[in-house]
Amino acid sequence: TLSVTGILGLTGSQTISGDLDVDGHTNLDNVSIAGVTTAAGAIDLNADLDVDGHTNLDNLSVAGVSTFAGAITANGSIDLNADIDVDGHTNLDNVSISGVTTTAGAVDINADLDVDGHTNLDNVSIAGVTTATGKIDANADVDVAGTLDVDGHSELDNVNISGVVTA
Question: Cα separation of 40 and 42, whole Å?
Answer: 7
Give residue-wise pLDDT tens across range 55-108: 888 888 888 888 888 888 889 888 888 888 888 888 888 888 888 888 888 888
d(CA 91, CA 20): 55
* Angle 89-92-93 from CA coordinates, rounded to 5°: 140
| The residue type at 24 | G
**CA separation for the pair 130, 126 (Å, rounded):** 8
Residues 100-144 pLDDT 10s = 888 888 888 888 888 888 888 888 888 888 888 888 888 888 888
Q: pTM for the whole thing?
A: 0.34
How many residues are present in the chain?
A: 167
User: What one-character DSSP code corresponds to residue 111?
Assistant: S
CA distances from 18 to 15, 24, 34, 80, 154 (A): 9, 19, 15, 50, 105
